[in-house]
Amino acid sequence: MIIHITKDRFWMERSSIERWPEILAKLPERMNCSSKYALAEEYLNYQTDEQGRIVRADEVYGLFGAEWKNGKLIISGCNFIKKNSEGYCLSREAVDMVRAYQEDNGWEKILARQLLKYSVRVRGLMIGILNGEGIFFKKKFLADSRKAYVEVDNVKYYIFNPGKEAKNLNDFMQTFSRECLGGYWKKELEIDDNENVEFEGMFNKAPSTSHIGTFLKMPLTLFEFLGWFAEREPGRFVLDTEKMAEHVGADVVESLKLDGFKSDLDILRLLIKEHGDSRGYFPVAIVGELLKERVDPLSEENLDRWIDRYFMKGITEGKFKLAGTEQGQPRHGRGLLGDKEKQLIKLVF
């Protein structure tokens, strides 16, 4: 299936993340109008120029969802405003976000969840960050963005770069098209999971990359505001997936993981194989520290407490069973729960 995507348009200023709920708060839940342009003019009082074009209404178009037009399936934005037989209506998420905004109660998280569910390019960007080693900037976060890149399967994608001299976000979306579309659009548009998906632009085969660096900084600014990013080493910024899941739901975070993405249990098994003995016993302090660096690098929790919490929670929740414990040597470090008799432990998954 060919899906046409418009340019990405978010709020106009990076610091104005509240702009979308402000716009949606001005709209009734149902709007009887024939086009996005008519909606902007009739319900939001945007002005038109001599050619009848809406002036400075770019920030509105990213609020719309999907619709068929002239035989083309077109995705315009994040599905806060949906097409129906009478014109347009606010989605349930739009109504929820407006209410939360008016009550100043977590509206930013609703906005972030919607972006990750329905913005094709935002999904592509975050899939690249999550499934690689983060996002790399030459300088500070979001600075000199044309040179910023993600690396997945040993391929670098310069995701903010509009040119064709290197692989960019269009190349990434071509390689991972079904994942970038995501299950939420597939369900809404009744697209089979196994159906091939191809993205095209509105006027050219390749989706537009015009001003892509400017526009995509908007959602990343929101995610940074929510505390999802931290600098793991100079220029490399990684995501706190636990905080993301707390804010937008584990289902959304899971939808951004590619096949082959290693879970914490996958990584734990590899570390046990690398640092354990032939019987399966391993030094919990050493393996626990390495595990924390891999799966929860942004946590400020004390290392010993983190290790105790992770393994005891895993046992309680049935992820694995404690099959044996032994005293080790000083080099093996602290034992589980500070018990020297549990410096070496054995797990059964």
Question: What mean pLDDT do residues 318-332 have?
Answer: 93
In this predicted model, which residue has the larger pLDDT, 164 or 286? 286
pLDDT value at position 318?
86
* Position 140 pLDDT exceeds 70: yes
Confidence of residue 267 (pLDDT cuts 50, 70, 90): confident
* Position 7 pLDDT exceeds 70: yes
In this predicted model, which residue has the larger pLDDT, 140 or 295? 140
pLDDT value at position 155?
93
Confidence of residue 52 (pLDDT cuts 50, 70, 90): low
* Position 57 pLDDT exceeds 80: no
pLDDT value at position 260?
66
Read off the pLDDT of residues 65-112 as tens digits, 9 standing for 90 and up: 999 999 999 999 999 999 999 899 999 999 999 999 999 999 999 999
Which of 38-42, 54-58, 119-123, 271-275 comes out lowest in average pLDDT? 54-58
Asked whether the beta carbons of 156 and 228 are under 8 A apart, the reply is: no
Q: Which two tokens stand for residue 96?
A: 């929820």
pLDDT value at position 175?
94
Give the domain ranges of the chain.
2-255, 264-348
Summary mean pLDDT of the chain: 92
Q: Which residues contact 4 (CB under 8 A, 6 or more apart)?
A: 72, 73, 74, 75, 199, 200, 201, 202
* Position 50 pLDDT exceeds 90: no
pLDDT value at position 237?
92
pLDDT value at position 230?
85
Q: Edge-to-edge strands of the sheet including 321-326?
A: 282-283, 344-348, 321-326
> What one-letter code names the amino acid at 84?
N
Confidence of residue 173 (pLDDT cuts 50, 70, 90): very high
Q: With helix as H, strand as E and coil as C, how does 107-147 read?
A: HHHHHHHHHHHHCHHHHHHHHHHHHCCCEECCCCCCCCHHH
Question: What mean pLDDT do residues 277-291 have?
Answer: 95
* Position 297 pLDDT exceeds 90: no
In this predicted model, which residue has the larger pLDDT, 22 or 59? 22
pLDDT value at position 334?
94
What pTM value is reported for the model? 0.79
pLDDT value at position 2?
95
Question: What mean pLDDT do residues 120-128 have?
Answer: 96
pLDDT value at position 228?
94
* Position 62 pLDDT exceeds 70: yes
* Position 176 pLDDT exceeds 90: yes
pLDDT value at position 218?
93
pLDDT value at position 153?
87
